[in-house]
Structure 1
Amino acid sequence: MSRFFVDSTDIKDNVISITDQEDIRHILKVLRLGPGDTVDISDSAEFEYQTEIITIDKNLIETKILDKQKFAREPELKITLFQGIPKQGKMETIIQKNVELGVYSIIPVFTHRTVVTDKGSFCKKIERWQKISDEAVKQCKRGIIPEIKKEIQFQDAVKELGQYDLVLFPYENEENYSIKACLRSLQAKPQKVAIFIGPEGGFSDAEADALIAAGAVSVSLGRTVLRTETAGMAAIAMVMYELELW
């Protein structure tokens, strides 16, 4: 059953209205659903609903609530991925897979070794990346749609570290402290975690020093050096394994 997302204002009494034109088209043209068919809906905040279609046309679909539950698949842990912007095409994979793994939000970061040709024109990229997040969520039936936030410079990203309970910095030059040792040494379960991943070529020495000075924990993900599109996925999977099942 496909999942669709609505705003809380679209939920009134025992009826939920679907007004998004892409969702309506998908229900009508792709899924070919009609009155009496069931639809899975999230309010994007706290609850998920099993509903039955009662009225349907090209501009509005109304559904009757059959069951209401708190999110069953949404992680309690809120992980923000600060992703060094990679070369063209890789960000789509990074977003899709990390959304499936449970990331809460993703922030593209311009670093010293970022290699892109259009640094001044990112609005359309963010819009496209957000759509990728939207589609990934519908597939894996999470409760919320992770936000792909506006791109920022590395120095501005470092300034945001104070709002997180734990900041992890997977670093290819770290040889003595594994992410496993770090996570298992925690005395309390963090609620908000940030993970910093560099672009191709990693972070510069100055950037690594700046992260550590600001409180980020330098950790190793293993003996091999991972690609930028793999490192975030590996780190998030490890954090989810250790902390989400705490």
Structure 2
Amino acid sequence: MTLPQHLVPSLADAAPGGRVQVEGDEAHHAVVVRRLRVGERLQLTDGVGRVALGTVEETAKRAFTVVVEEIREVAEPRPRVTVVQALPKGDRGELAVEVLTEVGVATIVPWAAERSVAVWRGERAAKSLAKWQATAREAAKQARRAWHPQVPPMATTDDVLALIAGADVAIVLHEEAVEPIGALALPDDGDLLVVVGPEGGLTEAEVAAFVGAGAVSVRLGTEVLRTSTAGVAAVSALLSRTGRWS
């Protein structure tokens, strides 16, 4: 059984034999909700590749101290995957973020597609982004990820075009595409980008713009998936053909 994981701001000064104190909401949830106890072994991570394994020495309501036994440096998984996720309705956005995090996506970019029903504006935009970021953080801890995903502010279509231009391989999921996702040639390194449209589908103009920027329009199969699950299906299909899953 893998050890439970907790996120800390930094492990830069952590070393075997030393101590790391975890404070705030992270510690409160561990001690009060999860009932963390003295003597329990766990792992801490800073979310950018450094992991400390250790034993709980002391607990309080909003703090606990860990004696470090081992430090591990984990290389960032390659190829690196970014998913541009069109805003789904309701809580399906958090579902998409959760499963994309669990499968190993490095960056999840919220995007307001032309046919997106959900709208992020003003205070709602800040709250919705915070929900996505919190969901990614908790899912990453559950998945024991050493590298936690980034969830940047909502992108415009122009932002997505720039991401496509900078990727080594970029795909757009589209039910009318001719090329299957399994026909793509994939690198063992570099940056992969997947664009997932909204419930109402991508417009012809969006698909044309993305393809013009360098993306390949692909289909997953004969079925049409929900926007909240299409991304994880596509990323799984891609990673199964790379060194990350072999």
Structure-2-length-normalised TM-score: 0.89
Of 205-214 and 28-37, more deviation after overlay is shown by 28-37
Q: Secondary structure at the match of 2:109?
A: strand
- Contact kept in structure 2, 1:45 and 1:144, CA below 8 Å: yes
Structure-1-length-normalised TM-score: 0.89
Question: Once the two structures are superposed, what CA deviation does each residue of 1:4-37 show, in whole Å capped at 9, x if it has no partner?
Answer: 1123356444324233312211222233233322
Of 108-117 and 194-203, more deviation after overlay is shown by 108-117
2:28 & 2:104 partners in 1: Cα distance? 27
Out of 157, 168, 172, the position equivalent to 1:169 is: 172
Q: Report the AA paired with residue 211 of structure 2.
A: I
1:93 aligned to 2:92? no
Q: Which residue of 2 is the match for residue 245 of structure 1?
A: 245
Q: Secondary structure at the match of 1:159?
A: helix
Q: RMSD value over aligned CA atoms?
A: 2.0
Out of 107, 120, 132, the position equivalent to 1:129 is: 132
**Alpha-carbon shift at residue 44 of structure 1 (Å):** 1.8
Out of 153, 156, 164, the position equivalent to 1:153 is: 156
Out of 116, 121, 126, the position equivalent to 1:119 is: 121
- Contact kept in structure 2, 1:10 and 1:17, CA below 8 Å: no
Q: Which residue of 2 is the match for residue 211 of structure 1?
A: 210
1:37 aligned to 2:40? yes
| Count of matched residue positions in the alignment of Structure 1 and Structure 2 | 241
Question: Structure 1 residues 192 and 2, CA, compared in 2 at 3 Å: closer, same or farther?
Answer: same
2:189 & 2:71 partners in 1: Cα distance? 29
- Contact kept in structure 2, 1:170 and 1:197, CA below 8 Å: yes
**Alpha-carbon shift at residue 112 of structure 1 (Å):** 1.1
2:90 & 2:58 partners in 1: Cα distance? 43
Question: Once the two structures are superposed, what CA deviation does each residue of 1:43-84 show, in whole Å capped at 9, x if it has no partner?
Answer: 322222210122333343221111222339x63331111011
Unaligned 5+ segments in structure 1 are none
Q: Secondary structure at the match of 2:240?
A: helix
Matched residues, percent identical?
27
